[in-house]
Structure 1
Amino acid sequence: MEPSGANSGSILIQPHARTKVSGKRPPETETEARQISQGQVE
């Protein structure tokens, strides 16, 4: 059963993958990675 809806992508895409899709550089530290996963890093 596949998730459907606007949020289905975010369920499958990992935080580090999401930064790549957004064209952002990968996180350099755990703290930065955590912030990116919370959407606090631009």
Structure 2
Amino acid sequence: MERGSQLRKTSKNASFICLQLSAMKDLWSAHIHMNHDRLWLRLHK
């Protein structure tokens, strides 16, 4: 019984970490796109 709740807690943590990672990836790619657009604008004035 105890092992089951531990397993459930672990899987909940894993899904939370996956959510955090995907959110960070989205932020990072958005950040890169923003900087890329800014660079492009600066180069093509």
Normalised to the residue count of structure 2, the TM-score between the two structures is 0.24
Structure with the largest fraction of helix: 2
User: Highest Rg: 1 or 2?
Assistant: 2
Q: Higher relative contact order by CA 8 Å / sep ≥ 6: 1 or 2?
A: 1
